[in-house]
């Protein structure tokens, strides 16, 4: 390719020529035409020539040089950050079948702590609310407290819930759980303190609501309302809490690293678990949208939740989760590797 240079162009044009040659090679055979060393060189030259372009645009450089460099940077950006569709799908498949379940298994100590806090607080609130349903008001939002007992609303016996309460209650529980999940993850940067608070608060709410429902005998309609999507959703909260605790522990006990370095090392694992947790919330939303409101008897809906929970745990702790997390899972792609 001819270049619009003259004698004023310094030795940096060697980088420009080399970048143009690599890009011509990519145009002919794609990224697979480059060796690993050439991919790293392409990334390095892209950043270097981008800097040259910025300098040229800020100075009194020849407009032809600016236009040439701009064209080079655009081409190299598209090459460096382009991921072929096939590669994208392979990465998605590798994440779902390998990286995510193995990372969940690897973080089992944090999952265990999050489970104990969440389900332990839920059990505590359940026992209190079951023995004295008026105590459920300590844990349950006021607009739904009337659904589980006296106080302006009748004592709902005979497996019936108040008319008009089921849809808003179900929607509230799901929205609240998603919010708690993201809060539990983000709270990890506060040394995990806010993560523990989010798990504790939501565990108390779910346990208090469930205990009150059991006290008044509204068991089957209540569980047909929350179990179909709730099994996946509540476990997603636990995993979000585990990812937050992973970040928090890096701050509390960084070991031989600085706290900032320990946090950076923990972030990929925590983010991996949280990304998979987002997918669990999507699954729960689909169940909530199509199964919960369906005109089906209560028991089939409950079984949807039970079966979905079994499949989820088999996926996260079954054969796919065996073995260590591949080391390359945490490495950036060749096109984005720093020199």
How many residues belong to the chain?
339
* Nearest CA among 73, 231, 201 for reference residue 125: 201
**Per-residue pLDDT reduced to its tens digit, 189-234:** 999 999 999 999 999 999 998 998 888 887 888 888 889 989 999 9
CB atoms inside a 10 Å sphere around CB 162: 15
From residue 53, give the alpha-carbon distance in Å to each of 69, 70, 313. Answer: 6, 7, 52
List the structure tokens of 20: 């143009």
Q: How confident is the model at residue 9 (pLDDT cuts 50, 70, 90)?
A: low
- Could you tell me which residues come within 8 angstroms of residue 295 by beta carbon, excluding any fewer than 6 positions away? none
User: What are 70-111's pLDDT values in tens digits?
Assistant: 888 888 888 777 655 555 677 778 888 888 999 999 999 999
DSSP 74-128: HHHHHHHS---HHHHHHHHHHIIIIIHHHHHHHTHHHHHHHHHHHHHHHHHHHHH
């Amino acid at each position: 390719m001819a270049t619009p240079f003259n004698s004023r162009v310094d030795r940096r044009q060697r980088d420009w020529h080399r970048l143009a040659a690599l890009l011509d090679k990519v145009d002919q055979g794609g990224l697979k035409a480059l060796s690993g060393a050439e991919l790293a060189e392409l990334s390095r030259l892209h950043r270097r020539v981008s800097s040259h372009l910025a300098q040229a645009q800020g100075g009194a450089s020849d407009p032809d040089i600016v236009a040439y460099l701009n064209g080079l940077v655009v081409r190299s950006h598209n090459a460096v950050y382009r991921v072929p569709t096939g590669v994208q799908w392979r990465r998605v498949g590798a994440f779902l079948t390998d990286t995510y379940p193995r990372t969940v298994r690897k973080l089992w100590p944090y999952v265990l702590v999050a489970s104990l806090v969440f389900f332990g607080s839920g059990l505590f609130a359940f026992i209190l609310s079951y023995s004295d349903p008026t105590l459920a008001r300590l844990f349950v939002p006021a607009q739904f407290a009337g659904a589980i007992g006296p106080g302006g609303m009748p004592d709902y016996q005979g497996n019936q819930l108040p008319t008009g309460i089921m849809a808003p209650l179900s929607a509230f529980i799901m929205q609240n759980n998603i919010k708690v999940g993201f809060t539990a993850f983000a709270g990890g940067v506060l040394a995990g303190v806010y993560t523990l608070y989010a798990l504790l608060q939501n565990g108390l709410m779910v346990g208090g609501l469930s205990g009150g429902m059991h006290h008044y005998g509204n068991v089957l309609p209540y569980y047909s309302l929350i179990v179909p999507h709730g099994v996946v959703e509540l476990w997603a909260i636990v995993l979000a809490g585990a990812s937050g605790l992973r970040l928090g522990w890096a701050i509390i006990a960084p070991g031989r690293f600085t706290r900032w370095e320990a946090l950076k090392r923990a972030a990929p694992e925590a983010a991996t678990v949280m990304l998979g947790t987002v997918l669990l919330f999507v699954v729960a939303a689909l169940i909530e949208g199509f199964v919960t409101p369906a005109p089906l008897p209560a028991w089939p809906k409950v079984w949807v939740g039970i079966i979905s929970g079994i499949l989820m745990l088999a996926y996260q702790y079954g054969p796919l989760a065996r073995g260590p997390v591949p080391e390359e899972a945490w490495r950036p792609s060749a096109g984005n590797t720093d020199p």
